[in-house]
Amino acid sequence: MSHASPAAFNELDPHDASHHGQHEHHAIVGPFQLRLVLVTLLFFTFATVAFAQIEVFVEGLIGGPLPWWVNVAGAMSIAVVKSLLVMAIFMQLRYDNPMNSIIMAFTFAALAIFIVFTGIDLLGRSQVDAYKAENIKAGGTDEIVSKKRDAFLAKMVDRYGAEEGKAKYEELDHEFNHAHEESAAAPEGNTPNLSRERVGLTGALLEVAPAKGEHAEHGAAHEGAEPGKKGEKTNPMGQESEGP
Amino acid sequence: MTTLDSRDNRPLWQRYVHGHHWRTQAEEFDGAKLGFWLFLTTEVLLFGGIFCAYAIFRSLYPGAWKEGSSLLDWKIGGINTAVLLISSYTMAVSIYYIQVGKISRARLNLMFTILCGALFVTLKLLLEYTPKWTGWFFFMDPALGHHSIDAAAGNGLFGLFRHVEGYGGKRPGSLYEYGFGHDPHMPLWWSVYYVGTSIHALHVIIGMILIFRVWLKAGKGVYGPNYYTGVEIAGLYWHLVDLIWIFLFPLLYLIH
């Protein structure tokens, strides 16, 4: 096949005027090469899925999570190779005027700057805003999810009675959250506190994130210790009965 | 096309004459491609916003991302990846067939590409969006075997759908109604999931329309070895859709 290996771009003769007339010079990528690329892409898809499965397996072996970047690096490096293949062969950047590749490279550079600078802002806020420690409620309120859970539990209790409804709720909870082996591992420590312990708006302020119930007690004790308070007992109910 | 001689019986592509403001037809072709690559950069930046949101929120709320990803089925995502990759191949090979003048084979591959796109969108709507949003499963959905069907709700839409109590409600933002979420940032995860995948699916549909137009015009003899700019451009759009999915798939389905 005469077009099996298309010639590279020639800067001094970009439209190949010396050789052919009209359209001849454009790269013709043959079906064999395209098929090869397709098989490679499908193989990499298989590889990225396999990598994720292997990670789960290894985590089971060592009994704990791998560093967060293993997951990201594994999936992303394969995706980058796949996308380069698609752009170079399927989209013919390899045989094109290099200007198209340069445009694309600058776009990805711009995108990287965009993401990195957004990250510098949002992911660094816990350090910048340390002086706001006393105004922020650590880790948010957990309101949306807990309300939905409570509402659904109430619905079940309403429909099936107190005990059977609770049992039904827990049965469904198990079915949706623990039915598969992979996802059974996921909810470990996956409570509303998980996000706060590691990062989050006020994450850096807390060495150990408080459990859900501790907020109220901590706040009450703090108020009780204020100098203006009359009552010296640490009974939280006492505050409400006291007049100004 | 500038002048068409009515007595000329050659196919349209052989009679193609490039615009008079270009020195050669090759220059016209390169100009068209350059313009389309510039458009593709805006597409990359459009999805870039979504990827940025993904990256930042995943760093802030890893628990929500882990839990949300565990509620997605990587098998559906994997099948859809393969479907899109194969369609990318048939799109590329149809350009080859146009270039060598085998128009009917090219049209066959173009139609196959459109059908792959349709399969992708169907799988997404039927096996992913509908059950997650409403709790109604298509009766042939293999995932239905894992759940107990809510008999009281009956069969929806002429018996085509079955309801699973409590499964639905995995919706973005304030629409979130799922009763079994653990992480407080689950609504955010579903926002990123739905915005990312639905804008991508919209691109698949637009790409199908573009390729269908190319298919029609190829049937009239517009495209051939001398002139195939439209095919090439539609192909570039389709490959970009594939490119976006190559990143969306591992990011959404394979994290843990």
Which CATH number fits the domain that encloses residue B171? Answer: 1.20.120.80
Q: Report which of residues B103 and B14 the model is more confident about.
A: B103
Residues counted in chain A: 244
Q: First and final CA of chain B: distance in angstroms?
A: 55
Q: Are B211 and B103 in contact (CB under 8 A)?
A: no
What is the share, in percent, of chain A residues with pLDDT greater than 90? 23
B153 domain residue, yes or no:
yes
Strands (E), chain B: 136-138, 155-156, 161-163
Dump pLDDT digits (tens) for A20-74.
Answer: 444 445 778 888 889 999 999 999 999 999 988 888 888 888 887 788 788 888 8
Q: Are B186 and B176 in contact (CB under 8 A)?
A: yes
B14 domain residue, yes or no:
no
Dump pLDDT digits (tens) for B28-42.
Answer: 888 999 999 999 999
β-pair partners for B163: B136
Tell whether A152 lies on the interface with B, counting CB pairs under 8 A.
yes
Tell whether A119 lies on the interface with B, counting CB pairs under 8 A.
yes
Q: How confident is the model at residue A111 (pLDDT cuts 50, 70, 90)?
A: very high
Is the model's pLDDT at B189 over the cut of 90?
yes
Quote the distance between the C-alpha of residue B119 and its chain's center.
10
Q: How confident is the model at residue A241 (pLDDT cuts 50, 70, 90)?
A: very low
Coil, helix or strand at residue A189: coil
Mean pLDDT over each residue of chain B, to the nearest integer: 89
- Closest CA of chain B from A239, distance in Å: 30
Phi and psi torsions of B59, nearest 5°: -65, -40
pLDDT of residue B249: 94
Is the model's pLDDT at A199 over the cut of 70?
no
Is the model's pLDDT at A3 over the cut of 50?
no
Average pLDDT over residues A162-173: 89
Give every CB contact of residue A124 below 8 A, 6+ residues apart in sequence: none
The answer to whether A176 contacts B246, with C-beta atoms less than 8 Å apart, is: no
Q: Report which of residues A85 and A145 the model is more confident about.
A: A85
Q: How many CB atoms lie within 10 A of CB B151?
A: 10
Average pLDDT over residues B3-15: 72
The answer to whether A49 contacts B40, with C-beta atoms less than 8 Å apart, is: no
Dump pLDDT digits (tens) for B197-251.
Answer: 999 999 999 999 999 999 999 998 889 888 899 999 999 999 999 999 999 999 9
Is the model's pLDDT at A12 over the cut of 70?
no
| Cα separation, A171 vs A46, whole angstroms | 34
User: Number of residue pairs across A and B with CB atoms under 8 Å?
Assistant: 235
Which residue range is the domain that position B136 belongs to? 22-253
Task: Scan residues 47-86 of A and list those with Cβ closer than 8 Å to B.
Answer: 48-49, 51-52, 55-56, 68, 71-72, 75-76, 78-79, 82-83, 86
Q: Which two tokens stand for residue A158?
A: 């309403």
Is the model's pLDDT at B9 over the cut of 90?
no
B129 domain residue, yes or no:
yes
Phi and psi torsions of B177, nearest 5°: -135, 5
Is the model's pLDDT at B123 over the cut of 70?
yes
β-pair partners for B156: B161
What number of CA atoms fall less than 13 Å from residue B40's CA on the CB side? 29
| Interface-testing mutation among A77, A85, A86, with chain B (most B C-beta atoms within 10 A) | A86
Dump pLDDT digits (tens) for B81-107.
Answer: 999 999 999 999 999 999 998 999 999
* Residue in B with minimal Cα distance to A41: B85
Is the model's pLDDT at B45 over the cut of 70?
yes
Q: Report which of residues B191 and A226 the model is more confident about.
A: B191
Is the model's pLDDT at A233 over the cut of 80?
no
Angle CA(B181)–CA(B187)–CA(B189) in degrees, nearest 5?
100
Minimal Cβ distance to B246: which of A34, A83, A185: A83
pLDDT of residue B84: 95
Q: How confident is the model at residue B148 (pLDDT cuts 50, 70, 90)?
A: confident
Average pLDDT over residues B118-128: 94
| Cα separation, B94 vs B57, whole angstroms | 40
Q: How many CB atoms lie within 10 A of CB B211?
A: 25
B10 domain residue, yes or no:
no
Sheet holding B136-138, edge to edge: B136-138, B161-163, B155-156
Angle CA(B3)–CA(B8)–CA(B11) in degrees, nearest 5?
90
Is the model's pLDDT at A197 over the cut of 50?
no
pLDDT of residue A131: 54
The answer to whether A71 contacts B66, with C-beta atoms less than 8 Å apart, is: no
What is the share, in percent, of chain B residues with pLDDT greater than 90? 55
Average pLDDT over residues B55-59: 90
Strands (E), B134-225: 136-138, 155-156, 161-163
- Closest CA of chain B from A184, distance in Å: 9
Of the candidates A189, A205, A23, the one whose C-alpha atom is nearest the C-alpha of residue A125 is A205
Residue A198, classified by CB atoms within 10 Å of its CB into exposed (0-12), middle (13-18) or buried (19+), is middle
- From chain A, pick out residues whose CB is under 8 angstroms from the CB of B41: 103-104, 107
B5 domain residue, yes or no:
no
| Cα separation, B201 vs B122, whole angstroms | 10
Residues counted in chain B: 256
Quote the distance between the C-alpha of residue B140 and its chain's center.
23
B149 domain residue, yes or no:
yes
How many domains, in total, are found in chain B? 1
Q: Report which of residues A230 and B108 the model is more confident about.
A: B108
| Cα separation, B178 vs A97, whole angstroms | 51
Average pLDDT over residues A109-116: 94
Is the model's pLDDT at A129 over the cut of 70?
no
- Which bin fits B108, alpha (ψ -120 to 50), beta or left (φ > 0)? alpha
* Residue in A with minimal Cα distance to B100: A28
Phi and psi torsions of A128, nearest 5°: -65, -40
Average pLDDT over residues A177-200: 46
B4 domain residue, yes or no:
no
Q: Of the ranges A26-35, B66-75, B187-196, which one carries the lowest mean pLDDT score?
A: A26-35
ipTM of the complex: 0.85
pLDDT of residue A207: 43
Is the model's pLDDT at B173 over the cut of 90?
no
What is the share, in percent, of chain A residues with pLDDT greater than 70? 54
Average pLDDT over residues B169-193: 88
Is the model's pLDDT at A242 over the cut of 70?
no
Q: Report which of residues A164 and B156 the model is more confident about.
A: A164
Phi and psi torsions of A202, nearest 5°: -115, 15
Is the model's pLDDT at A158 over the cut of 80?
yes
The answer to whether B179 contacts A153, with C-beta atoms less than 8 Å apart, is: yes
Give every CB contact of residue B172 below 8 A, 6+ residues apart in sequence: B187, B190, B191, B193, B194, B195
pLDDT of residue A216: 42
**A177-to-A126, A190, B82, B245 alpha-carbon distances in Å:** 31, 11, 28, 27
The listed range with the strongest mean pLDDT (A187-191, A220-224, B215-219) is B215-219
Q: Of the ranges A18-22, A164-168, A232-236, B111-115, which one carries the lowest mean pLDDT score?
A: A232-236
Give every CB contact of residue B136 below 8 A, 6+ residues apart in sequence: B130, B156, B161, B162, B163, B168
The answer to whether A23 contacts B176, with C-beta atoms less than 8 Å apart, is: no
The answer to whether B178 contacts A148, with C-beta atoms less than 8 Å apart, is: yes
B211 domain residue, yes or no:
yes
Q: Whose structure tokens read 């593709």?
A: B40
